Structure 1
Amino acid sequence: MWHFLARNKQAAVMLGLLAVAAFVVVVLATKGASIAIVENLSTETDDISNDPHLFSTYSLPSDNRFMPSIGNGHIATNVFSDTVYMNGLYNGYKGKSRRARIPAWANIRLNSTLTDHPYSPVYSLDTKQGVFTVTVDRDRSVVTQRIYAHRFYTRAIVNQIQVASKHRPDPDFLHPEIWIAIKLMPGPGSDDIVFQDPVPEILDGRTVWSVCGQTKESEDPTYQPLPVDICAYWTSVPDHLVVPQHGSRVFTFAMTADKNKTVARQELIKVLQEDGEELFDKHVEQWGRLYHQAGMQIEGNLKLAKIVNGIWYYLLSSLPAEESHQPLDRFFGLSPTGLARGGTFDDYEGHNFWDTEIWMYPTILLLYPHYAHSLLQYRLETAYVAAQLARITGHKGYRFPWESAYTGTEVTQPCCPEVAEFEQHVSGCISFAARQYLATTRDEEWLKQGGCSLVTNIADFWASRAVINYTTGLYDIKNVMGPDEDHSNVTNSAFTNVVAGYSLYLAEYVSCLCKEYYLSKAPEHYADIAWSLALPYDGEWDYHPEYAEYKRSEKIKQADVVLLGFPLQYPMNESTRANDLKYYESVTRNDGPAMTWSIHTVGILRSGDSAKAAKMFNKSYDAYVREPFKVWSELRRPDVGAVNFQTGMGGFLQAIVFGYAGLSVYLDRFEIHRAQLPPQATRLKIKGIKYLGTNLNLDIDDVDVTLTVTSVDDKWPLVLNNGKYNTTLIPGLTVTLSGEGPFTIRSAPWKDCKLPADIIGQNYLRQINV
């Protein structure tokens, strides 16, 4: 990933505590919201709420890039922006491909939020209900605006403005009605879509507008012969809302968008037919279902609790709804900045990278495995393009592009050909994600519907990339780039070779799993290639050089070799892992991306150094999270880089789930190691951990660590071993995990298939010195 410099933030005037106190009663009355006063406000954009799910402020960020997003997996926008993006809607040929901008016919502003005004709005993001709220306490009324991407009516972005009179009649007042000035601000026309002229019509007595168009340019005519159609509908917005001085009313405005005009129109009709509160309740119900299935709760550290809740909100906002009024469209994956961004180079244009599989995917897999399936499905649906990329570069199997979007072809910008050419480890990362998915689900239907082919063909690619070195007797993989993008066109990247070796081993294992119904199988020598891949190791310093030609003390950009310890969990001596962590911490430049220090946190926690881990953990988020809406930047302050950087968010969640909670996934088992509390927290609870159909809750406090079984899958009975005794997991069972562990949960072997060796570069009784 690349990085960029931030623009300077401008200062603004902070509002006082008196305004806070005057408004708190009003907000407490707002449905689903609560704000408690936090004293000693210090900056213009402080979060004034002590509800862990609610982020509230009196002043919006002066840099609007740090405004929050709303989304439902189909459609998304940043609050108060003039742009809406839609899942799978891209424009531009190959390296120019980016999310196609739709004007924001959903961007409705209260006049009191646009100009200097005697009233003081409170802005709130409710991460539990998936809604952004603006509340204005006026002389004669309270105005509340709710903005949300509907989680059930997934083509719709909804604005609801409630005007509630204070019932303070003034007989001398010239205008007995209450007038609220509003403004629709969709921004300019789109540079990505050729729209026809808007067309008005009357629906149930209301004027609505519609417009249809096509993206200007196909991503790749070979795989996308025609541009993509897009249609949008939106309600007409007046200059003022008028309510009787003794009355109260909710005004509902909506915008819908879809590739199918009929779908967009029917969705708008249905939204407008709903009662205002019922419409909102259906949206909240869907968010409630997500949080009922799984979640993370932190007590004692409000800041940390809010950050974690914000991360899950932003991730889930970019993932598809589980239930929707209209059938869901095909899903096009998670990009580093989510669905609400992606129209610019800074925000990675909405493309898919290795970020999905290595950084965002692991915690999603444990809590929401059906979404992990959706992410793998995107790769399966573009696998035929990966096959073509392998062929034209002289290799076999599937070579997935470094960046992909609508078609699955390579869409890396022309500026950066080296990453497209050399950063081939993305294919190994996809195979590793498939490995973890099979380990936690044993989903045989997925294997039958393409998983067998995916795993086998990625292994075919790596087998064709590995070339025997007759001097060493080992296989080399040349002309690659690891995660550290400061060094390109290297030989035997440690990370690349390990994910390549894992891919080859996994194909052998899957050949056994799939033999009843999948004709092709991985050749037996694939495991021999994996066993004989060169893995750089320096015996003098007892560490892994990043690649064969690496010279000690060279600076690197980001986590690379340390990924061997986690998430790859490559077996090595504890001293080697400790040296990898210590050395690469000293040479990683400070202006790299956010997720590096999360992985260091996991490694250091596994070594038992809690004090050092706490410092690294704080470093992994403190300078990246921007108040008040907990929007992550790719780079540390004052730099910015990509915004709403979900890659960094995913790494941070891994520090909690796999570091502090101590969870580990292997092909044959699930482990819990040395579970402990994050800094300043008094409790950490992870609800809805899914392993082989069983639902688990892990509860950590300053006294005990307990594991509770809420449901099981009889197909895969599980046994917990605490180092001495076995306990069969049954619904309702709660076990106290005393000691450091590991505590191991297993089921019977899957089809009695032999587990892969997963040893790379160890075919001699020594490490390979370079």
Structure 2
Amino acid sequence: MWNFLARNKQAAAMLAVLTVAAVVVIFLTTRGSSYSIVENFDVEPNDVSQEPQVFSTYNLPTDDRFMPSVGNGHIATNIFSDTVYMNGVYNGRKGESRRARIPAWANIRLNSTLTHHPYSPVYSLDTRDGVFKVVVNRDRSVVTQRIYAHRYYTRAIINQIEVVPKTRADPNFVHHEIWIAVKLMPGSDSKDIAFVSPTPEVLEGRTVWSACGKTRVSEDPIYQPMPVEVCAYWTSVPDHLVVPHHGKRVFTFVMTADKNETVARQEFIKVLQEDGEELFLKHVEQWHRLYQQAGMEIQGNLYLSKIVNGIWYYYLSSLPSEDTYQPSDRFFGLSPTGLARGGSFEDYEGHNFWDTEMWIFPTILLLYPHYGQKLLQYRLETAFVAAELAKITGNKGYRFPWESAYTGGEVTQPCCPEVAEFEQHVTGCISFAARQYMAVTRDEEWLKHGGCSIVANIAEFWASRAVINYTTGLYDIENVMGPDEDHSNITNSVFTNIVAGYSLYLAQYVSCLCKDYFIAKQPDRWADIAWSLALPYDPVLDYHPQFSGYKRGDTIKQADVVLMGYPLQYPMNASTRANDLSYYERVTRASGPAMTWSMHAIGHLRLEDNHKAALLFNNSYEAYVREPFKIWSEYRRPHVGAVNFLTGMGGFLQALVFGYGGVSVHLDKMMITKPQLPPEATSFKIKGIKYLGADLTLDIGVEGSSLSVTSLDDTWPLIMFNGKYNITLVPGLSVILSGSGPFTIRSLPWKDCKLPADIIGQNYLRPIGL
């Protein structure tokens, strides 16, 4: 993403309006157009819970954007918002495309949380059970509202209101019925979906409503000639709930939504037939099953532990459920603010960017590889559109757009033509994600069913973009923009050329892996181009200029060259990497997005500068996480930007796993080097690392680290070299990681295929790998 105004209009307008609440309106920008952000400088509500998986508060954020979400990968909403979003439902032609708003017929409020009452509601997000709770301790009862997007009945958002009367010892006390005032607040009609007027009927003895409608404008007349239909069912909500003075009572209210009316209706009826407590337990069971597979645990630093739990909750809320009552719909990717947001310009309209592959994907892949496959599947299913984009821009192979949504075509707003035209590195980032997926899984079926083709066609794209420079004898890639969006239409972006070179090398390697069922044309030609790509390097200052002609001292927006060291793991001298980190830290502007400093932290950890790494690691999250529900903003306080910023979360998780955890993944091995504790932590456990079918746990403590084996895949036996001996890994084994390593885990060779050379430009240098 980018900030057009800051780059093109040096005198960006700033207006401050002082009020009693010290509200300041600051005009910021994102991707090419100014928008106003209302920022409240009052103290954020406190999280009063001492449980790492629960966030509780007595006061909600004054800014609704910092409310948490509930979701299940099919449907999602922010708590108490008037909007529901559904996977794959967008409205608007190309550059106007955004997530289509469905009125929140699931937004039910207790009146005691809307007006001033003598009660003090407690609001809690339980990331373990996947539920938001409101508890109101009244004079005669305790009322608990549970709000959740059901993890098994994935078309449903559930509201359950439990009323528990209080007993009174006074024999003269007259017991009356308990009345609980409630209100349904779905908001205004949708401007995105033309719903017909809701119609009532009686189902399962209850009055219910339903409405269907179609999105008003399809994204593309060729790839989406017909609008998308959405159908919703919801239960009628009375003004008051009436409860006898004896016994607990649970009221269940349901909203379902789907693109298929029959699916929405059938699931709605099934949910109504469920016992209320059983319905909730089925939901919780699915969440617990996810956390049994994998997770990250931190002791000694409660705040850090809570942030980690919040991130995984928000990630998994936007990813499809594994076990569902109705078959899951096609998955349309993971946008920078998740499924619960995306209807607005500042929240990136729910579009897919390089954020998915480079920032969010790596930790998801390592712990939940089946979700990694889901993320890549979105790219496979839209590859035919990428082929057309390459063709119309005069290139070969696949060129993936900077922003994509329903069709996979380019949907960048008209405000920002430069990013759509020049920020082509997204295509190389998709290939790099494929490389990581192959390294972690060796998924032969994935290669057979599209993997070989997407890797080869991405290489063809870069081969058609590389032009020989007869003066240098190297290939140039012109007219691009790197991750630093403050510089456009440049030549030989270091980051772009490396992901392009990796794409070319990977295609040569995959042509060997796939030779039994996929024929590649001249794969060695791809490697020759990669070998001869230009890679800017200053031998005097021993650092990498960001691109050809980069003027030293020019400010940049965000991490760019430093991504060479990680995640690209490009080999270089330690001095070069240190110089890159030091220099680009000085010229990176403070208003950049959250994930930059995570990458700097990883770089310093691998250079064994732990003090500097800790400072930058803390800098990567402290100014971005909003209380009490651990919502991430794109920009540091007092600014906001996109909310809830999964991209920033991704950089933070990578700093923990691939920085402090010391994990690195390569095509022929996984390594653990210098594992250590994050700041102020007494233990750090990464549970459920999935490598070649094995299930591993890395446990880092004050006294040392260990790697334990839960299970193995017989196809890929694993051996770990600890610096002295080879250790055969077997289920139940726990290996003490003595020293700093590296501890190298390998399996059998994957076919008789030579690994990529992965050396790009400056070939007379043979740098020392880090």
Q: Common fold, TM-score beyond 0.5? A: yes
Q: Deviation of residue 171 (structure 1)? A: 7.8
Question: How far is 1:246 from its partner?
Answer: 2.0
Q: Please give the alpha-carbon distance, in whole angstroms, between the structure 2 residues aligned to 1:289 and 1:519.
A: 41
Separation in 1 of the partners of 2:630 and 2:373?
28
Partners of 1:698 and 1:10 in 2: how far apart?
51
The 8 Å contact of residues 543 and 579 in structure 1, kept in 2 or not, is answered as yes
What residue number does 1:308 align with? 308
Structure 1 counterpart of 2:28: none
Report the equivalent of 1:610.
610
- Please say if residues 44 and 628 of structure 2, whose CA atoms lie closer than 8 Å, have aligned partners that are also in contact: no
Question: Which one-letter code corresponds to 2:302 in the other structure?
Answer: L
Report how far residue 205 of structure 1 moved: 1.1
SS at structure 2 position matched to 1:639: coil
- Asked if 2 retains the 8 angstrom alpha-carbon contact of 1:591 and 1:635, the reply is yes
User: One-letter code of the match for 2:623?
Assistant: A
Q: Which amino acid in 1 is paired with 2:427?
A: S
Specify the alignment match of 1:349 in structure 2.
Answer: 349
SS for the counterpart of 1:372 is: helix
Counterparts of 1:521 and 1:434, CA distance in 2: 20
Amino acid at match of 2:608: G
Q: Is the CA contact 1:515–1:521 (under 8 Å) kept in the aligned structure 2?
A: no
Unmatched segments (≥5 aa) in structure 1: 14-41
Offset from partner CA, 1:344-385 (integer Å, 9 cap, x none): 010000000000000000000000000000000000000000
Deviations 1:245-277 (A, max 9, x none): 223200000100000000001111111110011
Between the aligned partners of 1:11 and 1:525, the Cα distance in structure 2 is 67
Alignment of 1:643 onto 2:640: no
Q: Identify if the C-alpha distance between structure 1 residues 513 and 276 changes in structure 2 by more than 3 Å, giving closer, same or farther.
A: same
**How far 1:167 moved relative to its partner?**
1.8
- Superposed counterparts of 1:511-526, under 5 Å: 511-526=511-526
Letter in 2 for 1:468: I
Per-residue CA deviation, residues 714-746 of structure 1 (Å, 9 max, x unaligned), is 101111001111001100111001111111000
Is the Cα–Cα contact under 8 Å of residues 333 and 352 in structure 2 kept in the other structure? yes
Which residue does 2:81 correspond to in 1?
A: 81
State the shift of 1:44 in Å.
5.3
TM-score (norm 2): 0.94
Residue 9 and residue 422 in structure 1: after superposition, are their counterparts in 2 closer, same or farther (change >3 A)? farther
**SS of match in other structure, 1:542:** coil
2:442 matches 1:421: no
Q: Which amino acid aligns with 1:59?
A: N
Equivalent-residue separation in structure 2 for 1:244 and 1:692 (angstroms): 58
Give the whole-Å Cα distance in 1 for the aligned partners of 2:143 and 2:57.
16
Q: What is the CA-CA distance between 1:765 and the residue it aligns to? A: 4.6
Which residue identity is paired with 1:211?
Answer: A
Structure 2 residue 266 is matched with structure 1 residue 266: yes
2:90 corresponds to 1:90? yes
CA–CA distance in 2 between the matches of 1:275 and 1:11?
49
Q: TM-score, normalised by structure 1?
A: 0.94
Across the aligned residues of Structure 1 and Structure 2, the Cα RMSD in angstroms comes to 1.7
Q: Secondary structure at the match of 2:411?
A: coil
Give the aligned partner of residue 195 of structure 1: 195
Task: Give the aligned residue type for 1:106.
Answer: A
- 1:524 deviation in Å? 1.5
Q: Is the 8 A contact 1:719 1:745 kept in 2?
A: yes
State the partner residue of 1:538. Answer: 538
Q: Deviation at 1:764?
A: 3.3
Amino acid at match of 2:418: E
Q: Indicate whether 1:69 and 2:69 are aligned.
A: yes
C-alpha separation between the residues in 2 aligned to 1:523 and 1:445? 21
The structural deviation recorded for 1:762 is: 2.8
How far residue 173 of structure 1 moved from its aligned partner, in angstroms, is: 7.2
What is the CA-CA distance between 1:549 and the residue it aligns to? 1.4
CA shift in 2, pair 1:80/1:629, >3 Å: same
Aligned to 1:234: 234
What is aligned with 1:39? Answer: none
Deviations 1:648-699 (A, max 9, x none): 0010000000000000000110000100000000000010000001110000
> 1:147, 1:268 → 2: CA distance?
16
> Where does residue 654 of structure 1 map in the other structure?
654
Give the SS at the match of 1:118: coil
For these two proteins, the number of residue pairs brought into alignment is: 739
Q: Hey, what does 1:629 align to over in structure 2?
A: 629
- Whether the 8 Å contact between 2:88 and 2:406 is mirrored in structure 1 is yes
Specify the alignment match of 1:500 in structure 2. 500
The question of 1:110 aligning with 2:110 is answered yes
SS in 2 for 1:434: helix
Q: SS state of the match for residue 524, structure 1?
A: helix
Alpha-carbon displacement from aligned partner over 1:502-526 (angstroms, at most 9, x marks no partner): 0000000000000001123453111
Q: Is the aligned partner of 1:742 residue 2:742?
A: yes
Secondary structure of the 1:333 match is: coil
Residue 168 of structure 1 deviates from its aligned partner by 2.2
Other-structure match for 2:620: 620
Alpha-carbon distance between aligned partners in 1 of 2:447 and 2:205, rounded to the nearest angstrom: 52
1:490 aligns with 2:511: no
1:54 and 2:57 matched = no
Question: 1:127, 1:310 within 8 Å by CA — same for their partners in 2?
Answer: yes
Give 1:6 deviation, angstroms. Answer: 12
C-alpha deviation, 1:596, in angstroms: 0.2
Query: Whole-Å Cα distance in 2 between the matches of residues 619 and 214 of structure 1?
Result: 45
The answer to whether the 8 Å contact 1:511/1:522 transfers is no
1:764 alignment partner in structure 2: 764
Contact 2:719 2:729 in 1 (8 A): yes
Q: Is the 8 A contact 1:180 1:241 kept in 2?
A: yes
Match status 1:678 vs 2:674:
no
What letter matches 2:468 in structure 1? Answer: I
The residue that corresponds to 2:364 in the other structure is: 364
Kindly tell me: are residues 9 and 336 of structure 1, through their superposed partners in 2, closer, same or farther at Cα, counting changes over 3 Å?
A: farther
**Could you tell me whether the CA contact under 8 Å between 2:604 and 2:612 is conserved in 1?**
yes
Measure, in 1, the Cα distance between the counterparts of 2:97 and 2:15. Answer: 24
Q: Contact 1:456–1:522 at 8 Å: present in 2 too?
A: no
SS of equivalent residue, structure 1 residue 431: helix
Residue 523 of structure 2: SS of its match in structure 1? coil
Equivalent pair of 1:9/1:63 in contact (CA under 8 Å): no
Within 5 A, what are the aligned runs for 1:653-732? 653-732=653-732
Which amino acid letter does the alignment assign opposite residue 738 of structure 2? Answer: S
Residue 154 of structure 1 aligns with which residue?
154
Cα displacement (A) at 1:278: 0.3
| Cα distance change on mapping 1:7 and 1:725 into 2, 3 Å | farther
Structure-1 separation of matches of 2:647 and 2:423:
17
The alignment status of 1:144 with 2:149, answered yes or no, reads no
CA distance in 1, matches of 2:581, 2:749: 34
Structure 1 distance, partners of 2:383, 2:464, is 17
Q: What is the CA–CA distance in structure 2 between the aligned matches of 1:341 and 1:44, rounded to whole Å? A: 21
Shift of 1:749: 1.3
